[in-house]
Amino acid sequence: MLSLLVTSIFWTTEKGIHAGEVIVRLRCLRILIKRTVHGSVPSDNCFYTDLLEYKMMRMERIFIFFTTFTTLFFTNGVSGDYPKAQNVSWLSINFKTLLLWDPEPTNYSYTIEFSVIGQNRKKNQHCIRTMETECDLSNSLMDLKAIYSADVLSKPLLGVNSDLIEFPHTRSERFTPYNDTLIGRPEFKIEVSKDKRKITLYVEDPLTALFNEHNQQRTIRDVFADELQYKVTFGKATNTGKKTKISASSEIELDRRDVDPGVSYCFNVQAYIPSRSTDKQLGKLSQRQCSPGDDKSVFEEYGIGVIATFILLIIMIVVAAIVVTVVCCKRRKNANRSGKEGVPLRSV
């Protein structure tokens, strides 16, 4: 057996067998020599058992390497073929709610999944394998006070199959329609009382993207009820001073405590929801509108300061014109004198 093992070692070396097998056979040779010296019976299975163990280990390593390589290859391939969405954000005005993201897809598509936190995810039928970079979820977020999140999944084009189990995806920030939608700018009308001591603003509650059971469009008053207030910023048309007033009603009255009789005032109105976080309490500012004022004298309308400045400007212009005229006349006279002195006298 010993001579057979030695012969096998040299034969494997000559034939170029893998070095690991040679090492196994050398280890067996050492064991056989040791057992022979101590009078023990050599095991005929030493070589074959260790060699089989080595080959099993080698096959296992090859399998692990192949599995790891395959996983990395397909993972890198997926990331390259189906890039993750970026800049995922919510845009919501008057409950018209869009999910936005980048970039525009090429050779792949996007699918949107959304859910209330802690519940099963759902899909919007208009945002499956889409080539767009926005998804309208206005009619999907029915519970306005629930907390939602959404995922933008990068998937192959419609009709193209993939072996991937999990696709690259990007998750949005949490969103609650009732607390996070921006209230748009309101429209309003101005009415001045006959005695000109009171100004009334009639604010039109902005419409939302929501509908009731009768398919009628709901206003922000329908949604927020008593939580909705309006903030009015106003001041005299002739100066920059500003005042503010908060009203729980869409009909806002300003009396002599707020305005002077017969004076023209300019107004801006915006929705105000005090139950929200500070940075989301105010809606968009309305366009500026001014009330009519009484017919006033020039001094009352523009003020003494403005009129004095205007008069001073006129005086300066007149003085400048006079100075220029005088200087021109003097130069002309001097030129005429010089011309006469240069002419010789005629002989008598």
Domain-ending residue, one of 127, 146, 180: 180
Q: How many CA atoms lie within 13 A of 203 on its CB side?
A: 31
Same domain, 199 and 167: no
Packing angle of the helix pair 19-37, 2-14 (nearest 10 deg): 160
Quick check: is 258 in a domain? yes
- Strongest mean pLDDT among 177-181, 315-319, 333-337: 177-181
Domain-ending residue, one of 65, 80, 95: 80
What's the pLDDT score for residue 326? 87
Quick check: is 334 in a domain? no
- Report the distance separating Cα 2 and Cα 223, nearest Å: 95
Quick check: is 338 in a domain? no
What's the pLDDT score for residue 305? 79
Number of domains, the chain = 3
Quick check: is 322 in a domain? no
Same domain, 65 and 89: no
C-beta contacts of 4-13 below 8 A and 24+ residues apart:
5/29, 5/32, 5/47, 8/47
Print the domain residue range for 170: 83-180
Same domain, 48 and 74: yes
Report whether pLDDT(16) > 70.
no
Same domain, 120 and 220: no
Same domain, 191 and 287: yes
Quick check: is 27 in a domain? yes
Give mean pLDDT, residues 231-248: 94
Quick check: is 114 in a domain? yes
Same domain, 199 and 270: yes
Same domain, 171 and 220: no
Same domain, 48 and 92: no
| CB neighbours of residue 82 within 10 Å | 22
| Prediction pTM value | 0.61
Asked, as a colleague might, if the bond just before 103 is cis with ω within 30 of 0, I would say: yes
Q: Which CATH number characterizes residue 241's domain?
A: 2.60.40.10
Quick check: is 210 in a domain? yes
- Report the distance separating Cα 206 and Cα 217, nearest Å: 10
What's the pLDDT score for residue 161? 85
Report whether pLDDT(85) > 60.
yes
Same domain, 10 and 47: yes
Residue 36: CB partners within 8 Å, gap ≥ 6?
A: 2, 42
Same domain, 124 and 207: no
Domain-ending residue, one of 155, 180, 205: 180
Cβ atoms 241, 235 nearer than 8 A: yes
What's the pLDDT score for residue 41? 47
Helix, strand, or coil (residue 67): helix
Same domain, 46 and 14: yes
Quick check: is 340 in a domain? no
Report whether pLDDT(47) > 90.
no
Cβ atoms 230, 250 nearer than 8 A: yes
Judge residue 180's burial from the number of C-beta atoms within 10 Å of its C-beta, 0-12 exposed, 13-18 middle, 19 or more buried. middle
pLDDT-based confidence at 75, cuts 50/70/90?
A: very low
Same domain, 286 and 223: yes
Percent share of the chain, pLDDT over 70: 71
Write the pLDDT tens digit of every residue in 177-231.
999 999 999 999 999 999 999 999 999 999 999 999 999 999 999 999 999 999 9
